[in-house]
């Protein structure tokens, strides 16, 4: 029998983390969970540690860590650690086979880089780290021979379609997008949308931030940038189509005129399972598509008037060849979403803040982790202070 794969799961208490744990529960002999992290949710993290007998747990929020320590919440065999230093040490110390990065936000960059430097497989859900880190992260992956396996369903679909082909055979790719919670809402009424309304997704059950990003389609913008780096394509080769059923997860168009797609029901379980077992396959824990039942698949081009964030993502892609546009787009969007959730700005102001950030004169020739972190912090500070007319 093959040895169990040693897995580090960062962001274990989130939506992707929970879906991953369902798979690990279903296949207990194939995987061993050696470390898990959460930000503040000590209760959920503790119960994961107890169930899976995890040796290392990390709470990245210091207050949550100190509270859990003072209450001796985590019992043997689990050792509790604190912060991103705790994550870094764990990635370096544990000789894991795979790190699943399911943390939300740009703070995923540092752990992704550290995991890459250990040469382990990276199952990457945290798209923000690729959008921010771009060529810098991929260079590191090449240098350390670390495989990046995309969990994001569209990129996972493209990854699957590309197996056995070379880059010069690709004409373009099309990412599918559900259109989010507000795809049929009158455009004139969008300015009155509340955070709760923007948080309802028609097909996917996901974390709060990515659900709002789906409503604005900033999520698809981030995914365009993610695809640009993962598959080394030009902005002109990257397209988006609205597909309300979320069954086709993306298309690859070949230079010979044919198109390949990957299909599965709208559940992240399929993409996560693909990464967990790659390049092997195991029976799914969920039912696949059933063509015995009638099914309709629809496709239509996105309207930039409804989704200005999408157009801004294309601008960000073209802004700077070394990827700074992605960093600006991502940081400004995260702050804009926070300001929208705090009811400080309207739903329709989110793209206005991103546009303002993209008009700032940032730029650099050489990119380092330090540079990216400082750039990210500077954009955030400015976007928090932007006034709207
Ligand atoms: P959730 O908000 O559901 O979960 C986020 C996880 O990260 C939780 O474990 C949370 O811990 C932890 N976390 C939150 N803030 C921080 C922080 N500041 N530092 C460290 N850890 C933190 O997110 P999702 O699971 O929806 O998304 C995770 C990533 O996967 C995102 O990058 C998203 O874009 C991407 N993704 C998600 C998809 C989905 O279907 N959900 C699909 C494709 C990609 P705690 O519980 O303690 O707050
Ligand atoms: Mg996606």
**Residues framing ligand 1 (Cβ under 6 A):** 11-17, 38-41, 60, 102-105, 107, 125-128, 152, 204, 206-207, 210, 268
pLDDT digits (tens, 9 = 90+) for 231-276: 999 999 999 999 999 999 999 999 999 999 999 999 999 999 999 9
Contact (Cβ atoms closer than 8 angstroms) between residue 178 and residue 262: no
Per-residue DSSP letters for 94-130?
S--SEEEE---SGGGHHHHHHHHHTT-EEEE--HHHH
Locate the ligand 1 atom nearest the alpha carbon of residue 16 and give its number. 25
207 Cα–ligand 1 center, Å = 6
Question: In angstroms, rounded to a whole number, what is the distance separating the alpha carbons of residues 364 and 127?
Answer: 22
- pLDDT beyond 80 at 320: no
pLDDT digits (tens, 9 = 90+) for 208-221: 888 999 999 999 99
Locate the ligand 1 atom nearest the alpha carbon of residue 13 and give its number. 9
Q: Which amino acid residue places its CA nearest to atom 2 of ligand 1?
A: 207
pLDDT digits (tens, 9 = 90+) for 49-105: 999 999 999 999 999 999 999 999 999 999 999 999 999 999 999 989 999 999 999
Q: Is 27 helix (H, G, I), strand (E, B) or coil?
A: coil
Question: In angstroms, rounded to a whole number, what is the distance separating the alpha carbons of residues 352 and 248?
Answer: 31
User: Mean per-residue pLDDT for 174-192?
Assistant: 95
Segment holding 81, helix H or strand E: strand 79-82
Which one of the ligands is nearest to 206 CA?
1
Which part of the chain is CATH 3.40.50.720?
Answer: 5-150
- Among 10, 14, 202, which is best to mutate for testing ligand 1, by the most ligand atoms less than 8 A from CB? 14
93 Cα–ligand 2 center, Å = 31
Contact (Cβ atoms closer than 8 angstroms) between residue 250 and residue 262: yes
110 Cα–ligand 1 center, Å = 15
12 Cα–ligand 1 center, Å = 8
80 Cα–ligand 2 center, Å = 32
68 Cα–ligand 2 center, Å = 34
* Burial class for 74, CB neighbours closer than 10 Å (0-12, 13-18, 19+): buried
- pLDDT beyond 70 at 321: no
pTM, entire model: 0.96
258 Cα–ligand 1 center, Å = 36
Which one of the ligands is nearest to 15 CA?
1
- pLDDT beyond 90 at 186: yes
Which one of the ligands is nearest to 267 CA?
1
Question: In angstroms, rounded to a whole number, what is the distance separating the alpha carbons of residues 316 and 378?
Answer: 17
Locate the ligand 1 atom nearest the alpha carbon of residue 222 and give its number. 34
* Burial class for 242, CB neighbours closer than 10 Å (0-12, 13-18, 19+): buried
Closest by alpha carbon to 38, among 70, 12, 7?
Answer: 12
Which one of the ligands is nearest to 17 CA?
1
CATH of 156-266+295-385, one of 1.10.760.10, 1.10.1740.10, 3.40.50.1100, 2.30.60.10: 1.10.1740.10
11 Cα–ligand 1 center, Å = 6
- pLDDT beyond 90 at 195: yes
Locate the ligand 1 atom nearest the alpha carbon of residue 204 and give its number. 40
Locate the ligand 1 atom nearest the alpha carbon of residue 45 and give its number. 47
Which part of the chain is CATH 1.10.1740.10?
Answer: 156-266+295-385
Confidence of residue 1 (pLDDT cuts 50, 70, 90): low
CATH class as words, domain 5-150? alpha beta
Which one of the ligands is nearest to 175 CA?
2
- pLDDT beyond 80 at 389: no
Residue 204 backbone zone (phi > 0: left; psi -120 to 50: alpha; other: beta):
beta
Confidence of residue 361 (pLDDT cuts 50, 70, 90): confident
> Hey, what are 106's tokens?
């740009």
């Amino acid at each position: 029998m093959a040895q169990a794969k040693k897995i580090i799961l960062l962001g274990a208490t989130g939506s992707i983390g929970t879906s991953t744990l369902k798979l690990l529960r279903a296949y207990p002999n194939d995987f061993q969970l050696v470390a898990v992290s959460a930000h503040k949710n000590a209760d959920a993290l503790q119960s994961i540690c107890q169930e899976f007998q995890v040796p290392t747990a990390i709470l990245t929020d210091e207050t949550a860590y100190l509270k859990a320590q003072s209450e001796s919440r985590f019992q043997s065999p689990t050792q509790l650690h604190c912060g991103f230093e705790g994550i870094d040490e764990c990635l370096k110390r544990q000789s894991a086979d795979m790190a699943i990065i399911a943390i939300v936000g740009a703070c995923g960059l540092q752990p992704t880089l550290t995991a890459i430097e250990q040469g382990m497989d990276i199952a990457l859900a945290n798209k923000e780290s690729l959008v921010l880190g771009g060529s810098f992260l991929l260079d590191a992956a090449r240098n350390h021979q670390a495989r990046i396996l995309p969990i994001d369903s569209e990129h996972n679909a493209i990854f699957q379609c590309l197996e056995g082909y070379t880059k010069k055979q690709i004409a373009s790719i099309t990412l599918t997008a559900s259109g989010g919670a507000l795809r049929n809402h009158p455009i004139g009424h969008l300015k009155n949308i509340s955070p709760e309304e923007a948080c309802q997704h028609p097909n996917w059950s996901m974390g709060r931030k990515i659900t709002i990003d789906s409503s604005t389609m900033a999520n698809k913008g981030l995914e365009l940038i993610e695809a640009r780096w993962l598959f080394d394509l030009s902005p002109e080769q990257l397209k988006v189509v609205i597909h309300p059923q979320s069954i086709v997860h993306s298309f690859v168009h070949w230079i010979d005129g044919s198109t390949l797609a990957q299909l599965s029901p709208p559940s992240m379980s399929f993409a996560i399972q693909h990464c967990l077992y790659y390049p092997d396959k195991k029976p799914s824990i969920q039912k696949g598509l059933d063509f015995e039942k009638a099914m309709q698949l629809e496709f239509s081009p996105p309207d930039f008037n409804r989704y200005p964030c999408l157009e801004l993502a294309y601008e960000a892609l073209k802004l700077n060849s070394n990827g700074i546009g992605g960093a600006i787009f991502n940081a400004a969007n995260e702050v804009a979403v926070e300001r929208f959730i705090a009811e400080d700005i309207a739903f329709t102001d989110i793209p206005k803040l991103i546009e303002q950030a993209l008009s700032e004169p940032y730029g650099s020739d050489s990119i380092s982790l330090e540079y990216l972190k400082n750039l990210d912090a500077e954009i955030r500070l400015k976007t928090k202070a932007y006034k709207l007319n």
